[in-house]
Amino acid sequence: MKEKLRLLPKVDAVLEREEVKGLLNSYPRWVVVEALRHIIEEKRKSILSGVDIPVSEDSVVEELVENIHKFSLPSLRRVINATGVVLHTNLGRAPLAEEALRAIVEVSSGYSNLEYDVEKGKRGLRYTHVVELLRKITGCEDALVVNNNAGAVYLVLNTLASGKEVIVSRGELIEIGGSFRIPDVMRSAGAILKEVGTTNKTKLSDYKNAITERTALILKVHTSNYRIVGFTESVPLKDLVKLGREYGIPVYEDLGSGLFVDVRRFGLPYEPTVKESMRAGVDVVSFSGDKLLGGTQAGIILGKKEYVERIKKNPMNRALRIDKLTLSALEATFRIYMEGEEAAIAKIPVLSMLAEPLERLRERAERVVDELKDLDGYSFEVLRDLSTVGGGALPTAEIYTYCVAIAGKQRCDEIEEMLRRRPKVPVVGRIKNDRVLLDMRTVREQEVGLLIESVKEALS
Ligand SMILES: *Cc1c(COP(=O)(O)O)cnc(C)c1O
């Protein structure tokens, strides 16, 4: 063992080899050095655990040449989402519209008027770029965009209810994921939770009886990621607004997913839209930019001017502020919504995917099967199944879809792993009934070629 360890080549020596010098023409030196260190270290570990492996300089060079491309890949890279989960939080939620991507490049390749009023030649505010659009789309008085909706919830509670009580229904004390739980956020924002009603039923009188001189806010949380069915009752937003008016208490709604279109047109269950909240007279509403809205990660706060002004002035707003890349993409996305619902469905990927006709998905699946059917040792079949919306939205909704079902000589979890561990473009599918399914709902037309290439590479 000692002898073998001693024979392991040194990084500097390998760098002097002609083949390795050749690699330096195509790869940065640091990548080659890192790759070499990694390969030698792995060999050292193998020797120490008693595995017999080649330790010559030649063997190291050979491994380096074969694997260098893997070491040059960035850590954060594109994957093909074949899970059928349209808003997959782990896969980056919403893909962006072409216009949004172009706006990012245009605005961030050079300088921009991010906080500069070119008319007046004076300092401006970054939020102004989207306020007018949001007014037109939703009918709000004023708007503020921040890092994400979790940040928005924190900021609203901290501004309007620090040291005071916030009334919430027990049926709405939800966890979004990670450590984002309404009672915990409330506490860290300095607000005091005043829970009312029961898990399945909360009445207007429950809210009314909880109002005291310490009450600062009535909060309604859209239970976006779970449903209570059966013997249930909750208070409509407009009744809470009426109650709030009576007592001079603002009403804030955390909508979760911000919808500018009614998703029932896609055959999905009813989800409240932002416009409806505004029409109900809510004082403040907040929602995510990258859920069903189909934009970038952001928290969008809309509402009455007097409240939004106060929220803007909260010092924590600076800590949660939106960056120029996000803002430019968000503005471009809102401008698409200004063109109308049909344009939004055609141009915003999340909406396009939800709206795509079943027939087209079947045709896509057939095309993929046709390209793959000659791969030895595997069978490919077009299969009708169900996709989900994901992203903590519409938890009970299921949408028909078509998949490519793969079975073969390995176990299905091994096939799933081979597809996922592609160095260039990983393909993430799902397993059902001992087969790997590639769901065409989330594989977009322009990705089909790449999908076929990746699957062929993985399975041949
Ligand atoms: C998703 C969600 C959030 C958190 O939004 P992010 O943009 O992911 O931070 C907060 N509240 C509700 C109701 C949600 O559905």
Looking at ligand 1, which residue's alpha carbon is closest to its atom 2? 256
Give pTM, 2 decimals.
0.93
Q: Which atom of ligand 1 is nearest to the CA of 255?
A: 13
Looking at ligand 1, which residue's alpha carbon is closest to its atom 5? 149
Class of domain 98-347 (CATH, top level):
alpha beta
Contact 158, 314 (CB under 8 A): yes
With the most atoms of ligand 1 within 8 angstroms of its CB, the residue from 89, 149, 157 to mutate is 149
Domain segments of the chain: what residues?
2-72, 80-91+355-459, 98-347
Q: Which atom of ligand 1 is nearest to the CA of 151?
A: 9
What's the 420 CA to ligand 1 centre distance in angstroms? 28
> Which residues surround ligand 1 with Cβ inside 6 Å?
148-150, 153, 176, 221-222, 224, 254, 256, 288, 299, 392
CATH classification code of 80-91+355-459: 3.90.1150.180
What's the 385 CA to ligand 1 centre distance in angstroms? 28
Q: Give the pLDDT confidence score for residue 178 in this predicted structure.
A: 73
* Tens place of pLDDT per residue across the chain (460 aa): 888 899 999 999 999 999 999 999 999 999 999 999 999 999 999 999 999 899 999 999 999 999 999 999 999 999 999 999 999 999 999 999 999 999 999 999 999 999 999 999 999 999 899 999 999 999 999 999 999 999 999 999 999 999 999 999 999 999 887 778 999 999 999 999 999 999 999 999 999 999 999 999 999 999 877 888 889 999 999 999 999 999 999 999 999 998 999 999 999 988 999 999 999 999 999 999 999 999 999 999 999 999 999 999 999 999 999 999 999 999 999 999 999 999 999 999 999 999 999 999 999 999 999 999 999 999 999 999 999 998 777 877 889 999 999 999 999 999 999 999 998 899 999 999 999 999 999 999 999 999 999 999 999 9
Same fold, 80-91+355-459 and 98-347: no
What's the 256 CA to ligand 1 centre distance in angstroms? 5
Q: Which atom of ligand 1 is nearest to the CA of 289?
A: 7
- CA atoms within 13 A of residue 400's CA, in its CB half-sphere: 9
With the most atoms of ligand 1 within 8 angstroms of its CB, the residue from 145, 180, 182, 297 to mutate is 180
Q: How far apart are CA 98 and CA 116, in angstroms?
A: 26
What's the 331 CA to ligand 1 centre distance in angstroms? 20
